[in-house]
Amino acid sequence: SYNIPTVKVVVRCRPLNRKEMDVHRGQVVLRNPRALPGEPRKTFTFDSVYDASSKQRDLYDETVRPLIDSVLDGFNGTIFAYGQTGTGKTYTMQGAWLEPERRGVIPNAFEHVFTQISRSAADRQYLVRASYLEIYREEIRDLLDPNVVNEDPKDALLREFQKEIALLRAQ
Ligand SMILES: Nc1ncnc2c1ncn2[C@@H]1O[C@H](COP(=O)(O)OP(=O)(O)OP(=O)(O)O)[C@@H](O)[C@H]1O
């Protein structure tokens, strides 16, 4: 079941906000001003595309769950969100923790990991570590310790790795 591509690129569009709806400008078309006349339209292909009505749970089940399953089997995995400000990175990754339908990738992944651990054989041991960092204007901030702002990213990363938190040593 691991014949999934090594890198998956997924697009998610958030719903228009009030300001965008008020503008009523319609569709955005990108055009290459140096294109020769008659040049065919370019097609961009993604592993998945989620529209404004997409659900957090569907995105998790289709796009994230297989990766977390492979991590539970010992492989490395990374998920990151990229996009300009206000496009929905925080909503997708974090969402609303207290509302099950609006929980994002991070809380859904935690639930997935701990559910799998609780179901695994009693003689199997897991160590789960977590750190939570923000890089903003070349500064690294430890979001689990908001008082610390580090100027040298290398020192900050080293310190983070040294003090990663052991959340669970499952029996
Ligand atoms: N899929 C979605 N469905 C409903 N609302 C969404 C969705 N994605 C984003 N939003 C809303 O759009 C707004 C901007 O989203 P968000 O804060 O996640 O953007 P961001 O990319 O993290 O921005 P920044 O880079 O400034 O932190 C928020 O109010 C968020 O709740």
For residue 78, say whether it is annotated as part of any ligand binding site: no
pLDDT at 139: 80
Query: In the chain, what are the domain boundaries?
Result: 1-119, 124-171
Taking only the tens place, the pLDDT of each residue in 81-113 is 999 999 999 999 999 989 999 999 999 999 999
For residue 90, say whether it is annotated as part of any ligand binding site: yes
Q: Where are the beta strands (DSSP E) in the chain?
A: 10-12, 48-50, 126-130, 133-136, 139-142, 149-150, 165-170
Strand partners, 142: 133
Taking only the tens place, the pLDDT of each residue in 4-25 is 568 999 999 999 888 888 876 6
Q: Is the CB of 87 under 6 A from ligand 1?
A: yes
Taking only the tens place, the pLDDT of each residue in 130-143 is 888 888 888 888 88
Please, which pLDDT band fits residue 164 given cuts at 50, 70 and 90?
Answer: low
Let me know if 51 is exposed, middle or buried by CB neighbors in 10 A (0-12, 13-18, 19+): exposed
CB 141 within 8 A of CB 149: yes
pLDDT at 32: 84
The two beta strands, 149-150 and 139-142, are antiparallel
Q: Is the CB of 91 under 6 A from ligand 1?
A: yes
**Structure tokens, 99:** 């509302």
Measured in Å, residue 94 CA sits from the centre of ligand 1 at 10
For residue 85, say whether it is annotated as part of any ligand binding site: yes
In CATH, what class is 1-119? alpha beta
Q: Is the CB of 89 under 6 A from ligand 1?
A: yes
pLDDT at 130: 82
Taking only the tens place, the pLDDT of each residue in 36-78 is 989 888 888 999 999 999 999 999 999 999 999 999 888 999 9
CB 87 within 8 A of CB 102: no
> Which residue's CA is the nearest one to ligand 1's atom 27?
85
Question: What is the C-alpha separation between 89 and 85, in angstroms, rounded?
Answer: 8
For residue 88, say whether it is annotated as part of any ligand binding site: yes
Q: Is the CB of 141 under 6 A from ligand 1?
A: no
Cα distances from 49 to residues 8, 11, 58, 107, in angstroms, run 11, 5, 12, 22
Question: What is the C-alpha separation between 65 and 59, in angstroms, rounded?
Answer: 9
Please, which pLDDT band fits residue 3 given cuts at 50, 70 and 90?
Answer: low
pLDDT at 145: 76
Question: What is the C-alpha separation between 48 and 125, in angstroms, rounded?
Answer: 35
The two counts, helices (H) then strands (E), for the chain are: 6, 7
pLDDT at 153: 62
